[in-house]
Chains A and B, each alone.
Chain A
Amino acid sequence: MSFDDWMLALHVLSAFAWVAGVVVFWILIAAVRRVDTAAEMIRMQPVVRVGNAAVGIGMGGTIALGLWLAFSVGGYNIWDGWIIAALVLWVISAPLGQRTGAAYMEGANKARELQTAGQTDPSAELLALNRTSKGVVFQFLWTVVVLLILIDMIWKPGA
């Protein structure tokens, strides 16, 4: 196995980590829609951290190793249309992921506030924050962009 084969394998594994993170957040978004107490919300945070780690490793790995492969593998060039498209989509995906996170952080922050105040009862305000439609829209757009990157990587238009 060559060094480039290793880089490619790690690039693909990074892509898996990234999409796994997106899937984790979809599951959490579905679950959080029924959460109206601070304790339950706070209990979810370790899984949120797992999702964040998967996305961080995935996004970092795909871009770093992808750039390496674009320069190193014969037959591909950094100015190939499908590689430029992937880079543009990667850049677009970053703020979308961030905005999804920010939308759901409002609920997490509210839960911490409620916990600090010693309020353990169900909170309608927390439930409303957890049912944010803005967050769902950003998550949907983020998912579409990630899927477009996957499609671009497999079809390699123009390669």
Chain B
Amino acid sequence: MSIVALLRADSLDFPLFLHVLGAMILVGGLVAGAGALGFGRGDVRFLRLGYWSLLAVSLPGWVLMRVAGGWIYSKEGWDDLPAGASKPGWLDAGMLIADFGGLILLVALVAGGAGVYRLRRGGGTRLLEVTLVLALALLAAYIVAVWAMAAKPS
């Protein structure tokens, strides 16, 4: 692992910076979003803050992380492996969590958007509770992804 880090090509530094920065923004937005939704206790302004943290911070973070990750993937030649060669498990795991996590984030945002709309019309907070649960699940999944990407266990 240390040798791999020492031998990483310089040309990967910038996409790696964007990838890591995007992932950090994504996680920060999830922490703030889950915190505000979890501690909102029915306060409309606070619940909206939680939703907007996910929409305006986590989503752009996810896009930056995924686009820069794809850039690294292509630069490293993982999309053009010779026949019989296989990708390392940590890469598959990281990509699966990133892509599936993106889908879950979109579902959380749709549920949260509908929840905020209902709140404005005096409805309940059930949909925002769904968003909270999904945000916490995403947070747990991305912690696993960060561990897999950093430790590269295979």
| A residues whose Cβ falls under 8 Å from a Cβ of B | 1-2, 4-6, 8-9, 11-13, 15-16, 19-24, 26-28, 31, 40, 43-44, 46-47, 50-51, 54, 73-76, 147, 150-151, 154-155, 159
Contact = CB atoms under 8 A, between A and B. Distances in A.
Interface stretch (B12-20, B78-86, B92-100): B12-20
Contacts of A150: 17, 20-21, 24
Contact of B28 (A8, A23, A73): A23
Interface stretch (B102-110, B111-119, B124-132, B145-153): B145-153
A56 to B, nearest CB: 13
A9 B57 contact: no
Q: What 3 A-B pairs are tightest by C-beta distance, nearest first?
A: A23-B28, A9-B151, A12-B150
Contact of A23 (B2, B3, B31, B39): B31
Contact of B13 (A22, A147, A154): A154
Contacts of B25: 19, 23
B39 A8 contact: no
Contact of A16 (B13, B27, B46): B27
B100 to A, nearest CB: 19
A105 to B, nearest CB: 18
Contacts of B24: 15-16, 19-20, 23, 150
A145 to B, nearest CB: 15
A24 B35 contact: yes
Interface residues on B, range: 35 or more
Interface of B: 1-3, 6, 13, 16-17, 20-21, 23-25, 27-32, 35-36, 39, 41, 43, 45-46, 49, 53, 57, 143, 146-147, 149-153
B56 to A, nearest CB: 9
Interface of A is mostly: helix
B17 A47 contact: no
Given A1-B153, A75-B2, A155-B13, A46 B35 contact: yes
Contacts of B2: 4, 73-76
A81 B151 CA distance: 24
A46 B36 CA distance: 9
A8 B1 contact: yes
B152 A5 contact: yes
Contact of A5 (B27, B41, B153): B153
B121 to A, nearest CB: 22
Given A4-B2, A5-B152, A75-B6, A24 B147 contact: no
